[in-house]
Copies of this chain bind each other. A is one copy, B any other.
């Protein structure tokens, strides 16, 4: 099964088990709305790619790690879209959860997806208890305080925020968890994999800032120009378009260079080069060439 199909199949399995007739139907529908259909599942694919590079000797454990990472990403989007943050109307071309189901259920949807992520880890990791603790620590650290995505979002509420700390927490942390958990799921030493996740996370954030700055709403499935409108830190606002493009290139190079020696290093490097091309917004690809 290709990685994308593996991810969709495992997420569906989790929902089949968790969302039962005895549970509250509207909450369960809102949770599905937040997760299906998904985006590119970039973080989950990264988890599986690293597990594969490390031998993938326990695929169900890697599936659990990948799903957990993806569910936490979806949870953060649901809460970020709420009126007290971005007040976004749409997400992935459809109404945001709080628009489709109301604010109370959007709040609970985020909570329930966070919990489902840990439930997935617990189930998958029960077959490999020693790996479970390591995956749990990586994943929980990537979401909580002081340096996870929740902390990253909280920097938006602080009077003084450092661009790098903010982006590292808001985006980089979950990418780092994806690589660390992928390695841990396959029984490899996870620490050498942190740098790959951190570089890729920063690259995706810079790519997102570029997309926000140069796209029209027709090109992308989310609102654009939000960083300037909401006075959020952004690589484009800090360094300009050309500076951000140069930063993106150096980050994807650092990512490829950081891959530890392992049996699947070469295909992983090729995958990253492919992603790096995809990250440059189409309207800028001549400038980056």
Interface residues of A (CB under 8 A from B): 18-20, 22-28, 31, 75, 79, 82, 84-85, 102-105, 107-108, 110-112, 114-116, 118-119, 121-123, 125-126, 129-130, 132-133, 136-137, 140-141, 143-148, 150-151, 153-158, 165
Contact = CB atoms under 8 A, between A and B. Distances in A.
A112 to B, nearest CB: 5
Contact of A154 (B24, B103, B148): B24
Which 6 residue pairs across A and B have the least CB separation, nearest first? A23-B146, A122-B136, A115-B144, A129-B129, A27-B154, A24-B154
Given A115-B148, A144-B112, A146-B22, A104 B157 contact: yes
Given A103-B84, A137-B126, A23 B151 contact: yes
Contacts of A105: 154, 157
Nearest to A104: B84
Contacts of A118: 118, 136, 140
B133 A129 contact: yes
Nearest to A160: B25
Contacts of A111: 75, 79, 110-111, 114, 143, 150
A130 to B, nearest CB: 5
A111 B56 CA distance: 31
B130 A27 contact: no
B154 A140 contact: no
A129 B129 CA distance: 5
Copies in the complex: 2
A31 B137 contact: no
Contacts of A158: 24-26
Contacts of A19: 145-146
A120 to B, nearest CB: 9
Contact of A24 (B108, B119, B155): B155
B82 A107 contact: yes
A74 B25 CA distance: 25
Contacts of A102: 84, 157
Given A27-B145, A145-B31, A153 B108 contact: yes
Contacts of A151: 23-24, 27, 112
Contacts of A75: 111
